Structure 1
Amino acid sequence: MEEQKKILVLCGGKFAFKALQLLAYEKFLCGVGIGKGDDRIIDALEQESEENGMSFRSFPDKKSMSSMKEWIEEMQPDYIFSISFPFLITEDILAYGTEKFINFHPAQLPQYRGPMPIFEVLRNQEKETAVSVHFMNSKFDEGNIIFKDIVPIDTNDTYGKLTVKLSERMAHVVLNTANMVQYANKIPNTPQEKEKAYYFEKPDFSDTYIHWKRMSAQEITALINACNPWNIGADATFQGEQVKIIAASVRDEPHNGLAPGMIVSIAKDQSLNVASSDNKQIAIEIISTEEGIMTSKQLNTQKFLIGTQFN
């Protein structure tokens, strides 16, 4: 019987947990390395690794990466899997072995390279995304593609919902890949299509801000979903106060030329109906203000009045 392959996993935290559990259950996992990460997550992973007799290392910053090469050579894994690991694996570490480093990227490649593709696919109103499995090289998300597993996006998916969905799918894709490398003599792969490549930087305030005058109703609700929960919601301004819109939907009703961002009406369910640039309305359901996170029904009705405006 062929000896079980040893797989070391580099990860960024909670998103990889389901994959780690499956690999450990199937006796593939020999060690875990985490980059950055919440202290509670790091402690939980370290404890889990110790209880299962696996090696564990934390890489809290780029400087700490200098010890990774020695650790890998000490462990002698057959493969190194990367799941949302935040730091670039340098050439001296990759020199451990050709086609031994495999990354699992939660989006289509090469169209959605970058650290937060889940935000980008939702903001761009994509109908599907993917788990892209590829060999690693010395640049982020640019190695040859091994295969892609397509994941549909539902219309009501938020960043949180899609992250959970991708984490669950990722676990099965990672295990399938482990089984493939266990038995395959050669792993088929193809170069990425350079003409389709785009790298998205981590979003900043300008990416999460609602531009009422130039964004359609669908674009606004897509941005709100893409910002929930990691950014608490999409950013906006109301009467000089910074607010975040957490949940909203499109009302396909005209507002007859009112200024985009203006409160058109307050519905029976107390949602704030706001004019958009394409003559539709946004029904705001949950919002964060200086007074806290609340439903539209709980808002200060002396402040959020018909005719007042988001900017």
Structure 2
Amino acid sequence: MVLCGGKFAFPALQLLAYEKFICAIGIGKSNASIVDALERESEENNFGFKSFPDKKSIIEMRAWIETVQPDYIFCISFPFLLPENVLSYGKGKFINFHPGPLPQYRGPMPIFEVLKNQETQTAICAHFMNSKFDQGNIIFNDPVAIQKTDTYGKLSIKLSERLAHITLNTANMLQFASHIPNQIQDETLAYYYEKPELADTYINWKHMTADEIISLINACNPWNNGADTTLQEKRIKIISARLLNKPHNNQTGTIVSITDTLNIACKDNEQIAVEILSTDAGIMTASQFEEQILTNFP
């Protein structure tokens, strides 16, 4: 059985279904189109299917699992914590696949955090589940390299595709192994990141270097429609930017020049070249933003 939260799990679901490992799919809170698509696929393939749209609906899960009788339950971005009465279906039967290394990157959005923190490597962590988020015994951390140009969207796709093969390998392992090696998480390395808020996505020009700013922009693209900031006394979001190897004598956080990019001064005497940004007037290029400035858009 697979409990999931949305399209991040689709490649894994497709591969596990192709290899005939799936008996049922449960979907947590998600948009209607994803729920409908999974329900249709489940009906066509004779899988069990159930939607769990909110925390309250989890009370129905144990009875459903008892009906389906799966050997193991895989969780992939399932949004709700499973209570003890569900987990007691079987010790060692619930395995979560966390899209970040554990225990260092606990929390709902590790992809954002590893990019913001300028990590060069992340991981998909397979771990047994307990009644606390991301704290069960680790089976393995499978490393995944992060490229400088990776955005939240690019890294999500990379991890989603890698996850498909990891879940298949895990299913094969479970089929033949009598014991799955695992280890307790090292709490001295543990950190839990809450879901990002405005303070986490906001560019602090006075304290952040150019590299840190670009990393934040990439970490916010596309889920937050870019990194938040204020420019020309207007609230905007920067969607895409790159490092411009050109020193400046301007005040940090001000526009140095506008060419085909919007070039902004950073505290380390570097500039970032903004390629695409979002304003109240819409998503635009640097040149279009300059036109807006010249016409004094409200």
Q: TM-score, normalised by structure 1?
A: 0.93
- Residue type matched to 2:18 in 1? Y
Q: Indicate whether 1:35 and 2:25 are aligned.
A: no
Query: Deviations along 1:74-99, whole A, 9 cap, x unmatched?
Result: 11100000000000011111000010
Q: 8 Å contact 2:258–2:287 — kept in the other structure?
A: no
1:116-195 superposed matches below 5 A: 116-195=109-188
Partner of residue 274 from structure 1, selected from 258, 264, 267: 264
What residue in structure 1 maps to residue 204 of structure 2?
Answer: 211
SS at the partner of 1:29? coil
Per-residue deviation, 1:252: 2.4
Q: Indicate whether 1:115 and 2:108 are aligned.
A: yes
C-alpha distance in 2 between matches for 1:209 and 1:59: 33
Long gaps (5+) in structure 1: 1-7, 306-311
Q: Indicate whether 1:93 and 2:86 are aligned.
A: yes
What residue in structure 1 maps to residue 286 of structure 2?
Answer: 296
Q: 8 Å contact 2:11–2:160 — kept in the other structure?
A: yes
Q: Indicate whether 1:46 and 2:39 are aligned.
A: yes
Per-residue deviation, 1:302: 5.7
SS at the partner of 2:127? strand
Q: 8 Å contact 2:25–2:48 — kept in the other structure?
A: yes
Per-residue deviation, 1:105: 0.4
Q: 8 Å contact 2:23–2:70 — kept in the other structure?
A: yes
C-alpha distance in 2 between matches for 1:13 and 1:290: 29
Q: 8 Å contact 2:75–2:96 — kept in the other structure?
A: yes
Task: Point out the more displaced range, 34-43 or 296-305.
Answer: 296-305
Per-residue deviation, 1:297: 2.2
Q: Indicate whether 1:284 and 2:274 are aligned.
A: yes
Per-residue deviation, 1:265: 1.4
Q: Indicate whether 1:263 and 2:255 are aligned.
A: yes
Give the aligned CA root-mean-square deviation in angstroms.
Answer: 1.1
1:219-238 superposed matches below 5 A: 219-238=212-231
Q: 8 Å contact 2:258–2:290 — kept in the other structure?
A: no
Query: Aligned pair in 2 of structure 1 residues 95, 300: CA closer, same or farther (>3 Å)?
Result: same
Query: Aligned pair in 2 of structure 1 residues 96, 290: CA closer, same or farther (>3 Å)?
Result: same
Long gaps (5+) in structure 2: none
Per-residue deviation, 1:304: 6.9
SS at the partner of 1:92? helix
Per-residue deviation, 1:25: 0.7
What residue in structure 1 maps to residue 243 of structure 2?
Answer: 250
Task: Point out the more displaced range, 291-300 or 280-289.
Answer: 291-300
- Residue type matched to 2:59 in 1? S
- Residue type matched to 1:233 in 2? G
Query: Deviations along 1:98-117, whole A, 9 cap, x unmatched?
Result: 10000000011000000000
